[in-house]
Chains A and B, each alone.
Chain A
Amino acid sequence: MTEAAPTKKKHHCTCHSGDASPMHPRPFKVVKIWKELSDTFSMSLVPEDGQPIVFAPGQFNMLYVFGVGEVPISVSGDPTDLSTLVHTTRAVGNVSRALDALKEGMSVGVRGPFGTVWPLDIAEGKDLVFVAGGIGLAPLRPVIYQAMAYRHKYRNLAILYGARTPEDILFDKELLRWKARFDIDVQVTVDRSTGDWAGRVGLVTKLVECGGFDPANTVAYTCGPEVMMLHVVDSLHKRGVPHDRIYLSMERNMKCGVGFCGHCQWGTSFVCRDGPVFRFDTIADDLKVREL
């Protein structure tokens, strides 16, 4: 019945080279898995089929643990390093704990990369401020790497980071290394001091209030809990950073990552496709509505 039932053959898929379905994970080997914090770990993965994932900072992958399930996790590694794919995850529930339990040599399924990116081109010639809270530093790290690789394109670079306690400071050695470069301003604060912490105590918004950047010529990226980001936007705006130069990364329940399952809907947006990175002024109204 070839004539009576002609099928449309052309079918586009931008996700996986040579794989027709955006729903099929590709197995990656865990080459290294290491603890970052008591509840947070990173892993570096290599594709078993040899096809690396080319991602842009801000994008995420759906990570699948055999027989357990799948969760959205942002890429936290260097976008120019195609040899391994790095993710940093906080173990909070079923799937993230199962990811944590993986051992080197085991496999994890990957679908992606999905979602929108931190738009670096618009920051050229301007000050660039990264404001992160907790695990929110992980989705920002790729864009920090990228900005540092092309350091000459930007004026001041500032990383403003808040963690709950000194023990919760993610990538602490790296933050110290960056601080030592002198061409980047790294400020860290904790909500609650413990042990011999001699640094700042207080909210990350304090760092925004006194950060060394020129508000009228600044692009800001923020990632962290939703309420934190709202306060950060407020503080940035009070200093004079316009709403259309503030970007944030949103989080919603995700089952598919590609706009089919509806779970990530938020107003008119699908966070998996229209986000996770949004320009603040485009979603300001949605953010005001409770339980949208």
Chain B
Amino acid sequence: MTHAHGSTGSSHAKAPAGAKGSPIAIGTKVVMDEAGLASLITLLTKVGYQPIGPKARDGAIVYEEIESLSDLPVGFADEQEGGKYRLVAGTKGSFFEYLVGPTSWKRYLFPPTHKLWGAEQKGNGFEIDKAKADVPAYAFIGVRSCELNAMKIQDKVFGFGREDNNGAGIFSDPNYVARRSKALIIAVNCSRAGKTCFCTSMGGDPHVKEDQGFDLALTEFAPQQTHEFMVEVGSERGRLILELLPYRAVTSHDTDRAASQARKARSEMGRKMPPDIKDVLKRNLDHKRWDDVASRCLSCANCTMVCPTCFCSTVQDSTNLTGEKTERTRSWDSCFSVDFSYIHGGAIRPETKSRYRQWMTHKLSNWHEQYGSSGCVGCGRCITWCPVGIDITEEARVIKTTGK
């Protein structure tokens, strides 16, 4: 970004392009129209970001590279249930009425496969190529509140922002940290909730809060006469960008409209999680429900792939034909695969029952001890994308009501 003023000087804030009244600051809300959103996307590209946003592809909303406003899905909503996902017609002209789909932003911060390093044979030994690959600066457009929470959770796993509790044996993942610190986050508030959503039981909310770590947050006012977006500034970075865009001041009508959207979405939560599930699971590692779920679970790992917080990975070494060059790649792995726990003599969790139990107890229980919060944000992806419709909230309910 080339404009000259520094990031702290509030006294000399120049009149922003579309400003009417006082200068914007963190926490300020303004309103922008479709043209404003279009210039935002263009501006992001111009200053060196790669925008990633929603696209309708193969019957689902996925997060992919976008170039302009015209790439966004228009007029889509979705219907979700255990094992079911269907795009349907939503409010005509709306961009963000859909809810979370099969992709999550983790794909861009912690890629599905990624080269860790290369090495080359040199005489009797070898040399590791430590050259850092260029990390893209992404601008994520359309990040939901539950997804912001998921990022915060992965931040802890990979040590982003861990300056404050850095101790012996605590490491940061340089690739994640680099991608994460560059990424610009444009959140979008949910105007509705789906049948598999339960963010409110996991301490979340369909509308973002100012401390959730976004740069800008949009609330879409779906087209009646005008198609507008309330924009909240979440960071200095967001403020600098917004200053370059056209907007109008916010009115009480706008904030009321946003608040009623939030209330509506909250009231629509399709699922819920028992609040004491952490301790319930600890007491019930021998519950017979684990056998029952194992009889339905295909161990396909879909739930872990779509989950925005699952972080497990494995590594592969691949060597070229002459054996002189080799590369180590890291890729997503899942606790649902048998090999995952293999040690000499056999797998630690050979049965689906113990693998499902690992997944669910890690998410909902052990995560608390490991990272100080649940590992589940209630996005509902694992329910929607389970081919046999296994529902983490239903398993939790049954274990709670029939267990110790």
**Segment from B52-60, B66-74, B115-123 that makes contact with A:** B115-123
Closest 10 CB pairs of A and B: A107-B125, A262-B312, A291-B354, A4-B1, A268-B369, A67-B319, A258-B171, A67-B326, A12-B166, A1-B48
A65 and chain B: residue at smallest CB distance: B317
CB pair A29 B172 closer than 8 Å: no
A69 CB-CB contact with B under 8 Å: yes
CB pair A105 B312 closer than 8 Å: no
Most central of A2, A7, A270 by chain B CB within 10 Å: A7
Q: How far is A15 from B330 in the complex, measured between Cα atoms in Å?
A: 19
CB pair B311 A5 closer than 8 Å: no
- The one of B3, B158, B349, B350 in contact with A260, judged by C-beta atoms closer than 8 angstroms, is B158
A200 CB-CB contact with B under 8 Å: no
- The one of B116, B168, B340 in contact with A23, judged by C-beta atoms closer than 8 angstroms, is B116
Interfacial chain B residues near A115, Cβ < 8 Å:
169
Q: How far is A210 from B323 in the complex, measured between Cα atoms in Å?
A: 55
**Segment from A125-133, A147-155, A232-240, A249-257 that makes contact with B:** A249-257
A69 and chain B: residue at smallest CB distance: B317
Can you list 15 residue pairs at the A/B interface with Cβ under 8 Å? A13-B172, A14-B171, A20-B132, A23-B330, A25-B128, A26-B128, A29-B125, A67-B323, A253-B340, A262-B311, A263-B314, A265-B335, A289-B285, A289-B286, A292-B348
CB pair A1 B137 closer than 8 Å: yes
Q: How far is the CB of B110 from chain A (nearest CB, A)?
A: 9
- The one of B126, B132, B315, B344 in contact with A66, judged by C-beta atoms closer than 8 angstroms, is B126
Interfacial chain A residues near B132, Cβ < 8 Å:
20
How many residues of A are counted as interface, with CB atoms below 8 angstroms from the partner's CB atoms?
Answer: 59
**Which residues of A are interface residues toward B (Cβ below 8 A)?**
1-8, 10-15, 19-27, 29, 48, 66-70, 92-93, 105-107, 109, 114-116, 251-253, 255-256, 258-263, 265, 267-268, 270, 273, 289-292
**Segment from B175-183, B196-204, B226-234 that makes contact with A:** B175-183
Q: Known contacts being A11-B174, A107-B124, is A265 close to B349, with CB within 8 Å?
A: no
B245 CB-CB contact with A under 8 Å: no
Q: How far is A259 from B166 in the complex, measured between Cα atoms in Å?
A: 14
Interfacial chain B residues near A14, Cβ < 8 Å:
168-171
Interface of B is mostly: mixed
Q: A11-B172, A265-B335 are in contact. List 8 more A-B contacts (CB 8 A).
A: A14-B171, A20-B174, A23-B330, A24-B117, A67-B326, A116-B169, A260-B313, A268-B369
Interfacial chain A residues near B289, Cβ < 8 Å:
none
B173 CB-CB contact with A under 8 Å: yes
Interface of A is mostly: loop
- The one of B171, B184, B317, B344 in contact with A259, judged by C-beta atoms closer than 8 angstroms, is B171
CB pair B184 A268 closer than 8 Å: no
Interfacial chain B residues near A48, Cβ < 8 Å:
125
CB pair B349 A291 closer than 8 Å: yes
| CB contact list, B279-331 vs A, under 8 A | 285-286, 311-315, 317, 319, 323, 326, 328, 330
Q: How far is the CB of B46 from chain A (nearest CB, A)?
A: 9
| CB contact list, B127-172 vs A, under 8 A | 127-128, 130, 132, 137, 157-158, 160-163, 166, 168-172
CB pair A66 B121 closer than 8 Å: yes
How many residues of B are counted as interface, with CB atoms below 8 angstroms from the partner's CB atoms?
Answer: 72
Q: Known contacts being A66-B121, A252-B343, A268-B366, is A3 close to B354, with CB within 8 Å?
A: no
- The one of B48, B168, B312, B328 in contact with A5, judged by C-beta atoms closer than 8 angstroms, is B48
Q: How far is the CB of B21 from chain A (nearest CB, A)?
A: 24
Q: How far is A23 from B172 in the complex, measured between Cα atoms in Å?
A: 10
Q: How far is the CB of A40 from chain B (nearest CB, A)?
A: 13
Q: How far is A105 from B123 in the complex, measured between Cα atoms in Å?
A: 10
CB pair B314 A255 closer than 8 Å: yes
Q: How far is the CB of B326 from chain A (nearest CB, A)?
A: 4
B225 CB-CB contact with A under 8 Å: no
Interfacial chain A residues near B323, Cβ < 8 Å:
67
CB pair A10 B163 closer than 8 Å: yes
- The one of A6, A116, A252, A262 in contact with B348, judged by C-beta atoms closer than 8 angstroms, is A252
B391 CB-CB contact with A under 8 Å: no
B333 CB-CB contact with A under 8 Å: yes
- The one of A19, A114, A263, A270 in contact with B333, judged by C-beta atoms closer than 8 angstroms, is A263
A25 and chain B: residue at smallest CB distance: B128
CB pair B173 A260 closer than 8 Å: yes
Q: How far is the CB of B378 from chain A (nearest CB, A)?
A: 21
Q: How far is the CB of A26 from chain B (nearest CB, A)?
A: 8
Q: Known contacts being A261-B333, A291-B348, is A12 close to B172, with CB within 8 Å?
A: yes
CB pair A23 B117 closer than 8 Å: yes
B224 CB-CB contact with A under 8 Å: no
